[in-house]
Amino acid sequence: MATMEAPPRLQVRLHEGAFKNEPFVDFSKEENVRKMHAALEKVRGQLGREYDLIIGGKRSKTAEKIRSLNPAKPSEVVGVHQRAGKEHVEPAVQAACQAFSHWSHTSVEERASLLFRVGDVMRERKLEFMAWLVFEVSKNWAEADGDISETIDFCEFYAREALRFAKAEPPVQLPGERGTLTYIPLGVGAVIPPWNFPCAIMAGMTLASIVSGNTVVLKPSSDSPTIAAKFVELLEECGMPDGVVNLCPGGGASFGDSLVAHAKIRYIAFTGSREVGLHINQTAAQQQKGQLWIKRTVLEMGGKDAIVVDADADVDAAVEGVAQAAFGFQGQKCSACSRAIVDERIYDKFLEKLKLRVERITIGDPAMNPNMAAVINEGSMNDILRYIEIGKKEGRLITGGARATDAGEGYFIQPTVIADIAPKSTLEQEEIFGPVLAVIRSRNFDHALEIANDTEFGLTGAVYSGSREKLDRAVREFHVGNLYLNRKCTGAMVGAHPFGGFNMSGTDSKSGGPDYLYLFTQAKSVAEKV
């Protein structure tokens, strides 16, 4: 491999003090509303721009393009992107390998300083980044705020974590020896993020990779490549050397499969569907010619998340939590509540209150900040509508159940509640990833926990109960990676709620937690006789 001249040292600018979560924007203040409208207009003026592949810092175009559309207004092009193919895998991996030769030896202080700088600039441009999410993936203002705030949190948290890892010491020092423990980077990683948190998850996996000293080939979702391009532009602006992150939007079956299989790829960080995650795991397990390591997979996959509502629960609080968790961002979260398991003693009362609450949800263009906007694309919309028709046969439609045609030309679906769904039925078992809630009747708390644990997933869950004994039982017996008591099952906060699930929900990577950077490093123990 040709040597590559090391780039100038990054200016070290570290932040003092403990980590604190980024505060959300207060849109009850008219000044912030005006600023958000201004950000939307600024971004609207940039829609339709073309973005290049970025490999080793060099920009290039391809014959085939990816056109990112506004889900709320599909006639509007958000960005035009190059479609990387198999022929781009080798140059992208080689560029990352060359960059790794110097980035892996860059001091942790410099790498952390880059993340702090990115967080600072993103904080200054927060509303602008939020506006890109409004147009590209149809997030309302609050959901966009959560996404960008989490991205800033990852900058701050992972930078501090890298500095903490650099101070690691063996727990025992033997007489006559000096022992050290160093967490060194793995190599070149493939980062394959989803479209539903197109900034936070994309940036989180990328930032964890590079602050640990790795280099990355980033393949964003074809539904959200623009926000990834804007983020890579920001990394470059903040001083990231060429080749540390290589931006390559492309198809999963062409570019993605070849990237995962490449012998020089050391690990794959993926968030997405169960089917794709299992395919990546299988592909990564096959040793390629020249491959010297067992590839590591960091996989976050699906969920079929349940909220259990016990007979002694605060029904109003449970209704609010279920409604928010089921229909926030149109139900397009792996953590979304797609099953409400309700004790038969309060079942009818719960349904009555839930129907009234869901029918207050507003639907429309996210630029105008309704409660719900459009689902991501036409294929997803049709798939969700198919599940709704299955649900109408399996259960009783309470509200919703159709496309929201009065909301505009986009892919709008009414928030849908279907009751009397039986355990093990299609609607109770399969991940829908849309605004569809199945309500299941339970005989008692034992039965509720049995239903809650009856899917192949184990990501998030919640329990509403006034009983300390039952809450403690849930802690022991509800088998999910993220469990919430008397609150909704969405809205994990960096540092407070390390995120990742069990079973077919993934490898329980616990992003935003104190163990996450272990996944992007390997520990080297050195003992020296003194």
Catalytic residue positions? 300, 334
Distance (Å, rounded) from C-alpha 201 to C-alpha 140? 18
DSSP class of residue 27 equals T
Q: CA-CA-CA-CA torsion for 219, 63, 132, 274, nearest 10 degrees? A: -30
In sequence order, the β-bridge partners of residue 275 are: none
Residue type, position 47, single letter: L
CB of 494 closer than 8 Å to CB of 154: yes
Neighbours of 486 (CB within 10 A): 15
Angstrom distances, CA of residue 83 to CA of 221, 276, 352:
11, 19, 49
Neighbours of 430 (CB within 10 A): 16
Residue type, position 242, single letter: D
Burial 285-317 (b: 16+ CB within 10 A, else e): eeeeeeeeeebbbbbbbbbbbbbbbbbebebee
Helices and strands (DSSP H and E) totals, the chain = 15, 21
Distance (Å, rounded) from C-alpha 322 to C-alpha 464? 10
CB of 380 closer than 8 Å to CB of 389: no
DSSP class of residue 363 equals B
Structure tokens at 449: 């926990």
HEC sequence for 481-529: CEEEECCCCCCCCCCCCCECCEECCECCCCECCCCHHHHHEEEEEEEEE
Distance (Å, rounded) from C-alpha 229 to C-alpha 68? 12
CB of 155 closer than 8 Å to CB of 124: no
Distance (Å, rounded) from C-alpha 176 to C-alpha 178? 7
Distance (Å, rounded) from C-alpha 156 to C-alpha 150? 10
Distance (Å, rounded) from C-alpha 480 to C-alpha 478? 6
Residue type, position 406, single letter: D
